[in-house]
Structure 1
Amino acid sequence: MKNQSELEILVEKYIGGKLEKLVIDYSIAENVVDMFALKTVKRLFIAYELYKGSRSFYEDFLLAIREYLLVFKTSISLPFRIPKTNDYAISFDDEKQRYFTSLQLPDGVITDFVNQVYSGNAPIETESGYILTTDPFIYHLTEFSAFKTHAQKLSVYGALNTPDGYTTLVSLPTGGGKSLITQTISYQKDGLTIIIVPTVSLAIDQVRVAKQIIKNRDVDAEIFSYSSDVDAAPIIKAVKDQTAKMLFISPEALINNQGFKNAISEANKKRYLKNIVIDEAHIVVDWGASFRVDYQCLESWRKNLIFSNPNLRTFLLSATFEQKSIDILKSFFSQEDKWIEVRCDELRHEPRYMVINNKSYTAKQKKLIELVKKLPHPMIIYVARPVEADELKKLLHENGINNVVTFTGLTSNSKRRTLIDEWVDDRFEIMIATSAFGVGVDKQDVRTVIHTYIPENPNAYYQELGRGGRDRLPCLSVLCLYIEDEKIGRNRISKRVLTTEKLVRRWDSIYNNVNSRRLDNKIYIDTTIKPNYALDPMDDSPTSDTDMNWNVYVLLFLRRYGLIRVDDVITENGKYIFIVQILDDALRSTDDALTNVIDHYRSLEWESFSGAYSRMVIATKKINSECISEMFYDTYQKVSEYCAGCNAHTTAIIGDSRDYPLKMPVREPKKLISSEAMAFVGDGDDMAIMAPNNVDISTMKILAKKGISTVILMNDETSSICNDIICKLDARNMFIIGEEELLGLIKISAYYFISGVVAVIYPNDDGKAFEKYRIVKQYLVGRSGIKVVHIISHNFEFKSIDKTFTELIAGQVTALENII
């Protein structure tokens, strides 16, 4: 950081009372390393102000001092004395009259990993081999002339190329720029895109980012987010007036707010609704079965929209997907195989993994206090239950750490929003949370994530540890356990799956209840029905939320295994009415046939839960001999090998460093060739244009005007020219790639990206041009769904085959000036 020494002097003056106020200038940050350092100063000031207000925050201030000294690798003069014996390894240099610190880490902590967190090294970029040029449409929309990574480029075009009526699932690593997908598809056509998000904070943040990025538009009249404390009327009016372009909204508002339901239904009938985006789409599977039921209602909600608007496109976005999640999402959100997967899966490069095993519960609690006081901050501590969050907060208070908050499933919605805002604003450094916290909370600089229990499966663990290092700097993932945690966790997951008997009896209760109306072959099931095995003739108390949740669980269990079909979900006075059709006649009986079917699928359900938990347990037990990331390779089948370090190895395993970002073939659907482009190319498989200047504004204008969908630069030296040219072209999509990207796409059979009319721009050298032509001829010319336009500076002579370039072309050959 420039002027770091000047900043350190100002910090000393401020804490020493010689400076009344110090405003941190974040604009001096040249990179994410600088930004983290400046945020560390901010947190130090906040801790100091708390300490000045109350001596109870003394330890919090010492913790912040330690963090500042380690991040800045410096010493400090203070106006008061810190005891020689303290928990933060802060020492006093009598000669220099200054305080300094050293790591002095707790037993079990790997020093190398902590040093890497404090190293201040910026993330290494490895994208030099790819052309990251955007295109005229993206440039005019955002003024971005280049993508962040090739994975982002593939993800964005994978979405933009989606035909009407299709569903596209996109996986892109955290921090990879998924928001550009929603922004570009929303402005690709005139119409409305609905983006379904899990949290209010995520909606607010995405609207803020979109309004900053989208240029030359009336964004305040086009981009909206809705939450319960927002006036819905102006948003609904914008939808009805067809001026809204992007609407960020929760599934609850979509399903339960009648005003939105009516406005969206009307927009859909008029075909103004163009796209549905489900952000963090894995949540539909992870949460919907037992938490936030409205996520499961999205299937029937979308299905009803598709019925009157079959051209509606759907996008499912996340950083990682388990295969079972993909299978369920595909069954929920696609019809007639209109399904595309753009898989840029990649394991996080930031986390360094540690498992610290303790001999007793008391030893574990003592270790947790040490970890909180010595490991890098900001810090999230995950606990299994709300009561444990309160207990840990109390324990930290008893040990002097008071600026701590808890965030659990019992935290009210209003308080959640306040806590998230304060967390992102650095008002506190330690968040104690259950799994209810995390998704959509985009705090960039979390340095440590501690788990005090064994998560129920590798996916849950990976999603939670993923809160760390979102600025792409190193972070720590620590499992702090003791011997009984395995048994406690096993008992916990056993409660996630009902017994066969209870599944059968609950189904019998809701299916055969007089309130479950029949209409034709459909059954209207009221989820507030009490189970008949729990009924008391004298009990007229209302159904509990627990009963309703378990009834929903049963219906979703049957839906997951194809035993019923959910046609619609209606909400009435806070209760859910599922409209279902039975697909397996065994569900109509009450005999052994029903029990046998339920028992079979219940066994599969339990094996899935139990097996996933066992993988977590084995990973924690074999941590010193086997890389912990092995379980992630099993969980996410498309990821390549990568682990920045764990107990089994302190040097990074970087097996994915040379992998192509796209992890699976995308062969279909091919791009449709417009009548304009077909008339230009003619009946042949290819044609040639002689353009003396090869890549210049005239050539690119012609290609754009004639509907060329892909431009392949077989000489990468032309990429910089394209960066200068795209801003001068009329806004339209044009996939611009180099030879390395072409070969990567060909190797993985991803012709979805390079179909339609493809222009190939050759180098001026005859010999090099022949090498490139052989590639194009072998893999592109004559392939179904592809027409090739060769752009050459002159009629190359290929002496090895005694032919000129134009003699090899099946279609027409013309000069650029003839087209102009």
Structure 2
Amino acid sequence: MVNSFQALQNFIQTGDTSFSNFEACHQRLIDAVKAEGRKRSPVDIACLVRHALRREDELQKGEAFIKVPRTFPYPDRETWQQSGIKIVGEGSDYYLISARPWLPDWLNCADESPESAAFKETLRRNYDPVPGDPFLKLVGLQNYRSAAQREAIRAVLTAPKNSTLVVNLPTGSGKSLCAQLPALMQSRNAGVSVVVVPTTALALDQERALEPYIRHPTAYYGDDSERGIARRKEMKARIRQGTQRIIFTSPESLIDSLAPALYDAAKQGLLRYFVIDEAHMVEQWGDGFRPAFQQLPGLRTDLLRLSSFNTLLLTATLTASCLDTLETLFGQPDGFKVISAVQLRPEPAYWFAWCDDEEIRMQRLVEAVYHLPRPLIIYASTREAVARWRSELSAAGFRRYATMTGKSTTKERSQLIQDWRDRKIDIVVATSAFGLGVDQADVRAVIHVCIPETIDRFYQEVGRGGRDGNAAVSLTLHTKEDRIIAASLNKKSTITIERGLQRWESMFYRKKLAENGKFIIPTNTSPSQMPGDIDMDGEENQKWNIRTLTLMNRADLIKLDWKNPPLRNNFDSQESYFQALEEHRNFRVISVTNEHHLLKDTWETQVAPVRSNRQFWSNRNLKLMLEALKTNPQRCLSEIFAHAYSIPSREAPFLRKSINVSRACGGCNFCRRRKIKAFSGIMPVPIPVWQNPCFYIGEQLKSLLKESNLILIFYDVLEQNKWEQQRNNLFRWLVIQGISNVVSKNLKNIFTQEENSFIFWFDIDNYQHIKMPCLPTLIVYSQGDNLSYSPLNHNQAPCIILLPIDTPDPTRSDRRLIDIFPGRSFRFESFCKQVGI
């Protein structure tokens, strides 16, 4: 039977593409050979042929060969050799070639090729799917991707009203579903959940994921075409009608144009969840070039005055500093919890190389790009560096690449992402602006031609590789100049105490009084009337004013609030409406929480520590990054990452449990020197975070329970056919009466999802009563099952147990439980008759 590599050989000889199951790397080569125009380059084809050969080497544990034409678009002899290809035979019209393992002397890799595991696509991820709950059928699933995902979704569904839940799960473990599924469940009759995402790419990606279940558009983004305007108008109408169900949008779009529709939905009680995906961006970007992120808490606060809804903050990279920020901004009004299962990424193998100058780095980068597997991302810290590396790739003959920076237009970004997905490009050269929301699972290599300013940024960017759970390569090429740039970027844009107070005075003296003692503060005012300040009224000045307000909010001098944007219907003309909208953008609503907010002493005692603390975390993150670069490190890179992402417990002002990190390493300098193989710890399984969740119990069941939380129902195994006929009706009745946990062996598919309920299913052979959500529970024992003692004695929530009539007393096997149980108990037929089944 022909395999993919043999079919690839046949394509190279004949052009035949009839084989239906090419591997991704083989299909990428075919696409490159068949491409037209400037994207058809012999250099790119050489690298893709190398990928196919090296993968076959690793899979077959031997040397693979392939015969290639000597005509365009295939490379000449020199290009083959530059890409690590041996010509082992040739004819007048062909070369017979194989690929050498890449062993650069500047990486100190001895006999271990940096790319071997990545070409082989060695499986590194070590967690398995777990059986799902019945409601997963809503999105066509039977299993959870991981136990951590299961517990996170259960925590979302059991969260009390108006609470905030931080969901901290590793990339690839399915955290997006933690918002999508509850949003769909809670909007089956009517409702809408808003999911704030940092990029249009992520909005579109999530829209695609839900297309089988929601037929109308769910991604809301800027598009001034006639079709785009109509699309947004229809989405706002559906929000107001309660039929939109879920919407993905940026913070800017939410604040500027979607807010009025959300206000209308909230007034009707239609708002279900307020979600921020990639919630660490609130801290990382909200302080800088995306201040809209830190306007979200004020908007949420005002919406909560109109309606009850829950807040979800999703992230894969939660630091102590980030968690403090999120708690400050979203901790009120009712309950702030974190559900966390932190397992470090096991896929990347980390390689670092010091370069004496830019010329050496350029040579090494080109060499690496010639040899490393595709797809591949190259990260730089500045737009200028991206442009420089793009030129170097072009000069080396590469064509299947694209670039992205913070200045890329929406159209350019969308085109790049589409080309990336369609395999029209193999390489992206970018700043940190690229990656969020680009769910390209098979990225095999990530190169840094810079030093990221924090270990957090480095980990996130390396994490773009190996999202399919298979091995990837991380290579960092760094110079002395990079340290200077990293230190500069690391220095937080935090205003000094003197300048901050000056800006605050200028804004506060131009305040307007709002309702309920709040103030409307202008953010476009100059910091003072001094000659150097009086004309300072541009965008950068406004950002500094917003940073000042954000800092004061963290220091608890003020609380950021919100005012609903103006409505078009309230204005006679479009011009007057746009003027009012612009004024709204240039103001912030705040409430004062410290009456001494204008005193310098207050700023010294309240604001200065917050400012210093932020810089402390930034400095620590840079130090950890620099430690990772060491040629002879004193600890595994996984320990450095664990240092960054472990969060200690806290007693005050509110109790917080510690967050520990399960270490993993695909290979680093420390481990290679000590012959330590790649390893991956076990992903933690979090326990329920809501100790006393609210639950509903129907009046009929409540009356049967009386003062007890436990009912035993005994059935006769000898009359199995009779009881099985009524069993399904009883189960449905119990669900309607409020049962949420179901413990059984083979009965999961019997339970249907009722309109306003959910069922959590547990296997009776391995469930642990203490680790279940504290919710009304049904336990169904079959003949021969061992009865657990704990549900008979420890039930904070109602528990119904069905069990065979001859079940022995768990404390004495010589007597039947039915004969000695002192609590509430029924025979099956009697119970069914009493409840009218």
TM (norm. structure 2) is 0.84
Q: What CA distance in whole angstroms lies between the structure 2 residues aligned with 1:697 and 1:293? A: 61
Contact 1:380 1:449 in 2 (8 A): yes
Q: Quick check: 1:77 aligned with 2:67?
A: yes
- Aligned 8 A contact 1:138 1:733 in 2: no
Residue in 1 that maps onto 2:303: 305
Report deviation, 1:278. 1.7
The match for 2:569 is none
Query: Helix, strand or coil for the counterpart of 1:173?
Result: coil
Shift of 1:124: 5.9
Deviations 1:622-651 (A, max 9, x none): 664311111221222232222222111144
Q: Counterpart of 1:524?
A: 520
Rounded Cα–Cα distance in structure 2 between residues aligned with 1:602 and 1:397: 44
Quick one: which of 687, 692, 714 aligns to 1:690? 714
CA–CA distance in structure 2, aligned partners of residues 705 and 355 of structure 1: 62
- In 1: Cα distance, 2:377 partner to 2:521 partner: 41
Query: 1:418 and 2:449 equivalent?
Result: no
1:376 is matched with 373
> Corresponding residue for 1:649?
671
The range that moved more, 372-381 or 698-707, is 698-707
Runs of 4+ in 1 over 6 A off after TM superposition: 694-697, 727-731
1:92-107 aligned at under 5 Å gives the runs: 92-94=87-89, 98-106=96-104, 107=106
Is 1:773 aligned to residue 785 of structure 2?
no
Give distance in 1, aligned partners of 2:10 and 2:706: 71
The answer for the alignment partner of 2:489 in structure 1 is: 492
Query: What's the CA shift for 1:434?
Result: 0.9
2:145 to 141, 144, 148: 148
Displacement, 1:775?
3.8
What is the CA-CA distance between 1:408 and the residue it aligns to? 0.7
Q: 1:436-482 deviations in whole A, cap 9, x for unaligned?
A: 11111111111111222222222222222111111111112222212
Q: Taking structure 1 as reference, are residues 664 and 108 closer, same or farther at Cα in structure 2, changes over 3 Å only?
A: farther
Kindly state the Cα deviation for residue 617 of structure 1 after the two structures are TM-superposed: 1.3
What is the CA-CA distance between 1:297 and the residue it aligns to?
1.3
How far residue 210 of structure 1 moved from its aligned partner, in angstroms, is: 0.9
Does residue 762 (structure 1) correspond to residue 793 (structure 2)? The answer is: no
For the residue of structure 2 that corresponds to 1:432, the secondary structure is strand
Whether 1:787 aligns to 2:798 is yes
Residue 604 of structure 1 deviates from its aligned partner by 2.1
The unaligned stretches of length 5 or more in structure 1 are: 29-36
| Aligned equivalent of 2:359 | 362
Structure 1 equivalent of residue 829 of structure 2:
817
**What does 1:537-686 correspond to in 2, within 5 Å?**
543-568=537-562, 572-573=581-582, 575-589=585-599, 591=600, 593-595=602-604, 597-621=606-630, 624-637=633-646, 638=659, 639-650=661-672, 651-652=676-677, 654=679, 656-657=681-682, 660-662=684-686, 665-669=689-693, 671-686=695-710
Q: Which residue of 2 aligns with 1:32?
A: none
Distance in 1 separating the partners of 2:714 and 2:197: 50
1:405-484 residue pairs with structure 2 within 5 A? 405-484=402-481
Question: What is the number of equivalent residue pairs in this alignment?
Answer: 765
C-alpha distance in 1 between matches for 2:380 and 2:591: 40
Hey, what does 2:338 align to over in structure 1? 341
Match of 1:43 in 2: 28
- Answer whether contact 2:158 2:693 (CA < 8 A) is retained: no
Q: 1:556 to 1:109 in 2, by over 3 A?
A: farther
Say if 1:687 and 1:810, in contact at 8 Å, map to a contact too.
no
**Is 1:134 aligned to 2:133, yes or no?**
yes
In the alignment, the residues of structure 1 paired with residue 804 and residue 377 of structure 2 have an alpha-carbon distance, to the nearest angstrom, of 59
1:315-354 matches, cutoff 5 A: 315-354=312-351
The CA distance in 1 between the partners of 2:160 and 2:492, in whole Å, is: 43
1:379 CA displacement: 1.0
SS in 2 for 1:274: strand
| Alignment-derived partner of residue 280 in structure 1 | 278
Task: Spell out, residue by residue over 1:247-269, the C-alpha distance to the aligned partner (whole angstroms, 9 max, x if none).
Answer: 22222111111xx3322211111
Q: Give the match's secondary structure for 1:67.
A: helix
Deviations 1:687-733 (A, max 9, x none): 212243599685455234213211224xxxx3xx3355347999952
* Displacement of 1:594: 3.7
SS of the residue corresponding to residue 756 of structure 1 reads: coil
2:763 pairs, out of 711, 729, 738, with: 738
2:85 is aligned with 1:90: yes
- How far is the alpha carbon of 1:797 from its aligned partner? 2.5
Q: Any gaps of 5 or more consecutive residues in structure 2?
A: 58-63, 566-580, 647-658
Scaled by the length of structure 1, the TM-score of the pair is 0.86
CA distance in structure 1 between the partners assigned to 2:530 and 2:560 by the alignment: 26
Aligned partners of 2:317, 2:764: CA distance in 1, in Å?
A: 28
Q: Distance in 2 between matches of 1:11 and 1:533?
A: 73
- Give the equivalent residue in structure 1 for 2:107: 108
Q: Give the 3-state SS of the residue equivalent to 1:455 in structure 2.
A: coil
Q: Is the 8 A contact 2:39 2:400 kept in 1?
A: no
| SS of residue in 2 equivalent to 1:352 | strand
Distance in 2 between residues matched to 1:652 and 1:624, nearest whole Å = 17
Check the 8 A contact 1:351/1:468 in 2, yes or no: yes
CA gap of 1:660–1:629, structure 2 versus 1, over 3 A, is closer
Structure-2 change in CA distance of 1:341 and 1:807 (3 Å):
farther
Q: In 2 relative to 1, CA 165–2 (structure 1 residues): closer, same or farther, beyond 3 Å?
A: farther
Which residue of structure 2 aligns with residue 33 of structure 1? none
**2:85 alignment partner AA:** I
Counterparts in 2 of 1:561 and 1:791: CA distance versus 1, 3 Å = same
Contact 2:627 2:633 in 1 (8 A): no
Q: Is the 8 A contact 1:626 1:648 kept in 2?
A: yes
Three-state SS of the structure 1 residue aligned to 2:305 is helix
SS at match of 2:299: helix
> Is residue 712 from structure 1 mapped to residue 696 from structure 2 by the alignment?
no
Q: In 1, Cα distance between the equivalents of 2:25 and 2:545?
A: 48
SS in 2 for 1:711: strand
Between the aligned partners of 1:161 and 1:415, the Cα distance in structure 2 is 42
Tell me the equivalent position of 2:47: 63
Aligned to 2:750: 725
Whole-angstrom distance in 2 between the partners of 1:578 and 1:423: 40
Task: Give 1:247's aligned amino acid.
Answer: I
Aligned partners of 1:704 and 1:109: how far apart in 2?
65
For 1:676 and 1:284, the matched residues in 2 are separated by: 47
For 1:273, the aligned partner's letter is L
Name the SS of the counterpart of 2:144 in structure 1.
coil
